[in-house]
């Protein structure tokens, strides 16, 4: 598939931790502008510099990117469209615009450019319609004693007259304290139901997802399937491999409602996919983001730029692709701006009704 001898471009294994350490303080999401200036002042490259960089990026995706079959993108045709333009690029900002335009054809949320300040630039910015309002949610839960057990990661309370355990998880942070989670979940094993709200959670690390899911697994099950590139110079993928969910000594086996929505991608979609395979779990709310060409590796480009390239795609156990489609809820609940303006969270209230419990008063 390569159109030239493979240019040398190395994965940044030794730099990945350095890049990732800047995410919480410097990774801001920028809108892709048609004529936006990223470098100021403009810098003029050496003759042929940007045409060579274009070839590097095209070759990199040609050999590493997992999503061509799912997306139905003809990468050779993309080359034919953009290669002549690469010969006309004279500045770094022009190269950035060309790269963003080319990579946008993939419509992949996890394909991004990373500039020298470690700011991520989306190549694809999907429409997200939130089905939650943090202030309204807290109006329901704070009178019930809701507390953030780990600020910005997760919180908990016993909500409503029926004291339904309610977990709100806003980040799958690698520092997620699963022991503290157990301290709250184990005393609740005899409760008639439980709610886990991840509507505000864009993703994170898979390790805490695995830890939380296993607290609800009754027997060995398949949570999802995954594929990667098969190699051999084609865009074909390996046969699907199962990801197993293993039970523990104890688990919460009574009804569980997981509240999900458009903002859930990556690790949050893995959580929804896993939990949907458990018999006592109901997924409620709206369809997830559909961003499951994940995780993405960081690859170094010239001038201290990076590009992220997804190396794996995740499927549901029935072999349905999640990328570009999302995971539909078992029960869809409409939630509008008018609802939230009136101080009502219809998703949360429907969850309590599904459990046969009375919701807390907002």
- pLDDT, residue 45, reads 62
Q: How far apart are CA 95 and CA 82, in angstroms?
A: 11
Residue 20, pLDDT above cutoff 50: no
Tokens describing residue 129: 């319609």
Report d(CA 285, CA 359) in Å as an integer.
16
Split at pLDDT 50, 70, 90, the class of 47 is: low
Residue linked to tokens 């730099």 = 15
CATH architecture, range 134-293+311-354: Alpha-Beta Complex (3.90)
- Please determine, for residue 148, whether its predicted confidence score (pLDDT) is greater than 70: yes
**pLDDT for the residue 48:** 82
Q: From its phi and psi, is residue 332 left (phi > 0), alpha (psi between -120 and 50) or beta?
A: beta
| Residue 233 pLDDT | 80
Q: Which residue has the tokens 């809701």?
A: 146
Q: pTM above the 0.85 mark?
A: yes
Q: What is the pLDDT of residue 4?
A: 40
What value does the mean pLDDT take over residues 135-158? Answer: 98
Which 3-state string (H, E, C) describes 226-293? EEEECCCCCCCECCCEEEEECCCCCCCCCCEEEEECCCCCCHHHHHHHHHHCCCCEEEEECCCCCCCE
pLDDT recorded at residue 231: 84
Decide if pLDDT at 170 tops 70.
yes
Give the model's confidence band at 228: pLDDT under 50 very low, under 70 low, under 90 confident, else very high.
Answer: very high
Q: Which residues pair with 297 in a beta bridge?
A: 309
pLDDT in tens, 231-257: 878 899 999 999 999 999 999 999 999
Q: Two tokens at 354?
A: 């599904």
Domain boundaries, the chain: 13-122, 134-293+311-354
pLDDT of res. 210 = 97
Partners of 314 in the β-ladder:
226
For the chain, give the mean pLDDT.
89
Residues 6 or more apart in contact with residue 361 via CB below 8 angstroms: 140, 143
Q: Which of 337, 228, 216 is nearest to 279 (CA)?
A: 216
Specify the DSSP element, H or E, that contains 207: helix 206-214
The SS3 call for residue 44 is: strand
Given this model, what pLDDT does residue 328 score? 98
- What is the model's pLDDT at position 362? 87
pLDDT tens digits, 304-320: 999 999 999 999 999 99
What percentage of the chain carries pLDDT values higher than 70? 87
Q: Using alpha carbons, list the distances in angstroms from residue 184 to 147, 198, 353.
A: 12, 17, 23
Indicate the class that CATH gives domain 13-122. alpha beta
**Measured distance between the N- and C-terminal CA atoms of the chain, rounded to whole angstroms:** 59
Residue 110's contacts (CB-CB under 8 Å, 6 or more residues apart) are: 266, 291, 293, 294, 295, 296, 308, 310
pLDDT 10s digits, 57-104 = 999 999 999 999 899 999 999 999 999 999 999 999 999 999 999 999
Residue closest to 168 by CA, chosen among 185, 148, 154: 154
In the predicted model, is pLDDT for residue 360 greater than 90?
Answer: yes
pLDDT greater than 90 at residue 16: no
What pLDDT is recorded for position 200? 98
């Amino acid at each position: 598939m390569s159109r030239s001898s493979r240019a040398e471009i190395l994965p940044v294994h030794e730099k990945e931790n350095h890049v990732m350490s800047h995410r919480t303080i410097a990774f801001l999401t920028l809108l892709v502008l048609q004529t936006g200036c990223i470098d100021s002042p403009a810098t003029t490259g050496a003759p042929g510099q940007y045409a060579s960089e274009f070839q590097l990026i095209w070759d990199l995706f040609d050999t590493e990117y997992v999503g061509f079959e799912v997306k139905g993108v003809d990468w050779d045709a993309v080359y034919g469209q953009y290669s002549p333009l690469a010969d006309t690029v004279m500045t770094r900002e022009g190269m950035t615009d060309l790269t963003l335009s080319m990579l946008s054809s993939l419509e992949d949320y996890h394909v991004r450019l990373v500039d020298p300040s470690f700011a991520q630039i989306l190549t694809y910015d999907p429409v997200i319609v939130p089905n939650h309002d943090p202030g309204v949610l807290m109006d329901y839960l704070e009178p019930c004693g809701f507390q953030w057990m780990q600020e910005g990661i997760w919180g908990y309370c016993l909500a409503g007259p029926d004291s339904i355990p309610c977990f709100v998880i806003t980040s799958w942070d690698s520092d997620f304290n699963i022991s503290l989670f157990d301290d709250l979940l184990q005393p609740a094993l005899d409760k008639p139901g439980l709610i886990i709200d991840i509507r505000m959670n864009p993703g994170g690390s898979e390790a805490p997802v695995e830890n939380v899911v296993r607290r609800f697994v009754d027997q060995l099950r398949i949570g999802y399937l995954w594929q990667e590139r098969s190699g051999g110079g084609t865009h074909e993928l390996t046969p699907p491999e199962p990801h197993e969910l293993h039970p523990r000594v104890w688990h919460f086996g009574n009804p569980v409602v997981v509240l999900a929505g458009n903002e859930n991608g990556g690790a949050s979609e893995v959580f929804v996919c896993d939990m949907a395979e458990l018999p006592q779990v109901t997924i409620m709310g709206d369809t997830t983001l559909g961003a499951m060409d994940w995780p993405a590796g960081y690859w170094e480009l010239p001038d201290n730029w990076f590009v992220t390239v997804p190396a794996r795609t995740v499927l549901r156990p029935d072999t349905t692709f999640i990328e570009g489609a999302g995971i539909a809820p078992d029960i869809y609940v409409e939630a509008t701006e008018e609802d939230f303006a009136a101080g009502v969270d219809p998703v949360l209230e429907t969850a309590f009704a599904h459990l046969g419990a009375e919701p807390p008063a907002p």
